[in-house]
Amino acid sequence: MTTRKASNDNAITRESLYGTTPEPTYAGVTSFMRRKYTKDLTGVDVVVTGIPFDTATTNRPGARLGPRAIRAASSIMAWEKMYGMEFDPFDKLAVIDYGDCYFDSGRPQGIPDEIEKHAYDIISQGPGLLALGGDHFVAYPLLKAHVKKHGGPLSLLHFDAHSDTWADEEGRIDHGTMFYFAAKEGLVDPANSVQIGLRTTNPDTMGFNVLDAPWVHANGIEATIEQARKAVGDNAVYLTFDIDCLDPSYAPGTGTPVCGGLTSHQAIEILRGLQGINVVGMDIVEVAPAYDVGEITALAASYLAMEMLYLYANSPKTRTYP
């Protein structure tokens, strides 16, 4: 049952890890959806953590500030159950905000290993992980951590304007090449993965199932859900959402915007229609608040992150507590 007792600064003062507790949306200490800030993983189902890294970008930087922006925007909607959900995910899942991954930005060569270790240290103790990026490169070490725990290859459920599978035989990994290496290294299985919303040219699909943005617009939400379900089946799924999957009119605050993308409505409905798939890990990335307008990009990201938690709460292997 959702807790309705009003209080303040729930990121610090919250006693129970469950339930939604209202407080002023414009004030107080912010965490993601006002969840408790803590490093204690006792009884925790899902950890939210920020990965404030953006030096793998190829266009506009600034996504290092994404986790902070998403947290702040989430406070707008943290006062009640999300509209249309059959239950409040926080009634079923004990969710905490773990804070951000620490790394030394002056030693960039060590950052991927630090992100992987940060993620694995959390998920190896049981909880699922929702990571807030950061540029999309962070999905690569996050995938490594999840494969280390769950085995691989995983199915990739990938929302993006870009395929991020551009080849670089010399081993250069940035936010546009990491899924090329993820596929080559067996972290993900392209045949059982799906990329949704693409609208940049890359002739080599590497065997990924692609539902590009024109296909989604032409065939609709239900057909997209059907094809995505068919692609991932019952496999363990890593869900990664680059906010530039949305059209710039819905998400201007990102490093590499591309016109013709999905609406926030389409993205939310597709995620909600995928209830029951076996999600084991999640991220939302590439929010760059310096280019945002009225925080609409950060707000969209926080809504999508909540849809991910709802999806995780309906996953057949979700670990929950009484």
Is the model more confident about 238 or about 171?
238
Nearest to 269 by CA among 223, 210, 318, 237: 223
Instruction: Specify the CATH class of 10-313 in words.
Output: alpha beta
Q: How confident is the model at residue 320 (pLDDT cuts 50, 70, 90)?
A: very low
Q: Mean pLDDT lowest for which of 13-22, 43-52, 289-298?
A: 13-22
Q: What is the arithmetic mean of pLDDT over 24-41?
A: 90
**Residue type at 234 in one-letter notation:** D
What is the pLDDT at residue 1? 46
What is the pLDDT at residue 6? 61
* 121-to-135, 149, 305 alpha-carbon distances in Å: 21, 10, 22
Is the model more confident about 108 or about 235?
235
Q: Mean pLDDT lowest for which of 139-148, 168-177, 193-202?
A: 168-177
Report whether 120 contacts 145 (CB < 8 A).
Answer: yes
Residues of the chain with pLDDT > 90, as a percent, come to: 77
For residue range 206-238, list pLDDT tens digits in order: 999 999 999 999 999 999 999 999 999 999 999
What is the pLDDT at residue 23? 82
What is the pLDDT at residue 108? 87
Nearest to 140 by CA among 104, 183, 107, 103: 183
Nearest to 302 by CA among 134, 129, 136, 66: 66
Q: Please give the Cα distance from 131 to 135 (Å, whole number).
A: 11
Q: Can you count the helices (H) and strands (E) in the chain?
A: 10, 9
Query: Which sequence spans correspond to the domains of the chain?
Result: 10-313
What is the pLDDT at residue 15? 83
What is the pLDDT at residue 319? 45
For residue range 44-86, list pLDDT tens digits in order: 999 999 999 999 888 899 999 999 999 999 999 888 888 999 9
pTM recorded for the entire structure: 0.93
pLDDT at 95 over 70: yes
Residues of the chain with pLDDT > 70, as a percent, come to: 96
Measured over the CA atoms of residue 125, residue 17, residue 91 and residue 308, the dihedral's sign is negative
**Residue type at 156 in one-letter notation:** L
